Structure 1
Amino acid sequence: MSPPTGHAAVVDGAAISRDRVDALLRAVPPRDRETRPEAIARAERQRRRWATQVVVTDELARRACADRGLAPPAEVSPEVLAVAEDDVADLGSIVAAALAHSPAARLLLAELEAGQDVPEAAVRDYYDRNRDRFLTPEALRRGVDPFGGASEEDLLPYQEVREGVVGELRRAAGRRAFFDWLDRARAGVVYAHGHEHPGDPSHPDHEHRH
């Protein structure tokens, strides 16, 4: 089903109003400092597509939360919370902004993260392969090479750092599960013209910067 007039997309048969996309665009200043009219127009087209993806991700997350019996999140504010540059680098700007914008997306990510099993062997393997992250303060001051000459005394004990490693691995696995869910969930979304994914090669000025 194609989106009806005045709507940006159709998610599971329900039309998503362009008003939600417009509200997000008003809250997010343009990143690009273009001066040529054609460049400004292109940047705005891509900004609209980007904002549509953030809104669609919120809608999909709301539905996923309902399907899982999770408590309904508060209504979404049109303002996007501050997004850390590290999150943009790790997640891409669409997912990073969606998590900042959408209580449902954050709730779903937390649920997926909590459900991740982290085997003890994976925790130990991470500790053994990343010795540089577990040098003691004294070893760091002495400039000890963690991979060539460091003794057991130069490393923080495994049991002391184990819970932190488990947390890191669980967060990483939760993010992978979120990406997998999102890829599957948005496969059936139908977009109105001008609201396609920014990287969709079916429109002429697509790009893969998220």
Structure 2
Amino acid sequence: MTDHAAVVHGSPVAKARVDAFLHTVTSPPLRGAGNRATSHDDGPAGRQPAAALSGSAERQRRRWATQVVVVDELARRACEERNLSVPDEVSPAHLLTVEDVGSIVAAALAHSPAARLLLTELEAEQTVPETAVRDYYERNPDRFLTPDALRRGVDPFGRAAPTDFLAYEQVRDGVERDLRRAAGRRAFFDWFDQARADVVYAAGHEHPGDPAHADHEHRH
């Protein structure tokens, strides 16, 4: 019987790492959460104590945990390649996020300091053109109503006066920051899709949505 859960770029990832991660999560991931790892979407769903899980649910929980650990391993390698020093601690707040969010990538960002560091670096690398900032401001007037206009119920797409909107100069930096963050997330998902392409999983540790195993869940 193999003692590894996956092989990442030729190096085994021990099952013990998956077990250690499972011990930090007091409840299972959201139902169907394994599939949202690739759709980048999260949603509400019921949870139950880990002890009450069926055999199928427990197997899916282990597959989900394997995916989270693999993201952590891939992110650590990426940080090493970039000469980034990864902190070791995981705060209780991040562990709580792991319980509540469910999706693989979101759980990995909560669990893995390396994944968070890599995401931060990718965000910092993004360049947002001034034209993109201005275009966002002009296409989304509903987001830039003044407090007074909001109180009066002004329709931003109707007969609104120029004074009903926050000036571009007031909101420009915030818009740029949000667009850079969104671009960083896209860069992170692109990195992950490429980095995981050659990962080989041991039996019982496949992706939760892999149709090759009987317990798979794949919802849209």
Shift of 1:8: 0.3
Q: 1:133-172, aligned counterparts within 5 Å?
A: 133-172=143-182
Instruction: Give the equivalent residue in structure 2 for 1:24.
Output: 21
- 3-state DSSP of counterpart to 1:9: strand
Q: 1:5-84, aligned counterparts within 5 Å?
A: 5-31=2-28, 32-33=47-48, 40-71=54-85, 73-75=86-88, 77=90, 81-83=95-97
* Alpha-carbon distance between aligned partners in 2 of 1:74 and 1:209, rounded to the nearest angstrom: 35
Deviations 1:27-69 (A, max 9, x none): 112343389x8x6111111110110011000000000011112
Amino acid at match of 1:131: P
Amino acid at match of 1:49: R
| C-alpha contact 2:98 2:107 (8 A) present in aligned 1 | no
Instruction: Give the equivalent residue in structure 1 for 2:183.
Output: 173
Structure 2: 5+ residue stretches without partners: 29-46
Distance 1:78 1:208, change over 3 A: farther
Amino acid at match of 1:81: L
Shift of 1:77: 5.0
Q: 1:83-98, aligned counterparts within 5 Å?
A: 83=97, 88=101, 93-98=103-108
Amino acid at match of 2:190: D
* Alpha-carbon distance between aligned partners in 2 of 1:97 and 1:156, rounded to the nearest angstrom: 36
| C-alpha contact 1:76 1:101 (8 A) present in aligned 2 | no
Matching of residue 117 in structure 1 with residue 127 in structure 2: yes
Question: Percent identity, aligned pairs only?
Answer: 68
Where does structure 1 differ by over 4 angstroms across 4 or more consecutive aligned residues? 76-80
- 3-state DSSP of counterpart to 1:171: helix
* Alpha-carbon distance between aligned partners in 1 of 2:63 and 2:172, rounded to the nearest angstrom: 42
After TM superposition, the score normalised by the length of structure 2 is 0.84
Shift of 1:13: 1.1
Distance 1:190 1:121, change over 3 A: same
* Alpha-carbon distance between aligned partners in 2 of 1:130 and 1:14, rounded to the nearest angstrom: 48
Shift of 1:115: 0.5
Shift of 1:22: 0.6
- 3-state DSSP of counterpart to 1:81: helix
Matching of residue 206 in structure 1 with residue 220 in structure 2: no
* Alpha-carbon distance between aligned partners in 1 of 2:49 and 2:110, rounded to the nearest angstrom: 26
* Alpha-carbon distance between aligned partners in 2 of 1:84 and 1:131, rounded to the nearest angstrom: 35
Shift of 1:78: 10
* Alpha-carbon distance between aligned partners in 2 of 1:168 and 1:77, rounded to the nearest angstrom: 25
After TM superposition, the score normalised by the length of structure 1 is 0.88
Task: Report how many residues are paired.
Answer: 200
